[in-house]
Amino acid sequence: MKLVEPPSCTSASTIVFIGRNRRGQWVAQEQNGLYGGLFVNRAQALKYALFENGRQPETIIELSREIELDMHDSHRPASRSATGSPTELGRAL
């Protein structure tokens, strides 16, 4: 029997950002930093984001600029550029 961890999100309207970090790895992170991870490719980041947000692709936003995984402060926006300023949102999926 395969054990599957339940999704981390508690709200169906949770926004998940995906994009690349400065090292080229794919990042998926919930808007408040409640969950996230690093991935080898975009497909795996999307798969994770969909699992965590209850299979709602409309709440996943791909960023056009760098995003760094930050799991320390759940009140700071997850999308930060290398300079620390908020990034512009990319296209919605």
pLDDT (tens digit, 9 = 90+) per residue, 31-72?
999 999 999 999 999 999 999 999 999 999 999 999 999 977
Q: Tally the domains of the chain.
A: 1
Q: Is 42 contained in some domain?
A: yes
Q: Is 6 contained in some domain?
A: yes
Q: Is the pTM of this model over 0.85?
A: no
Q: Is 90 contained in some domain?
A: no
Domain range for residue 15? Answer: 1-83
Q: Is 91 contained in some domain?
A: no
Strands (E), the chain: 16-20, 26-30, 36-39, 60-62
Distance CA(53)–CA(44), nearest Å, equals 14
Q: Is 93 contained in some domain?
A: no
Q: Is 92 contained in some domain?
A: no
Q: Is 37 in contact with 68 (CB distance < 8 Å)?
A: no
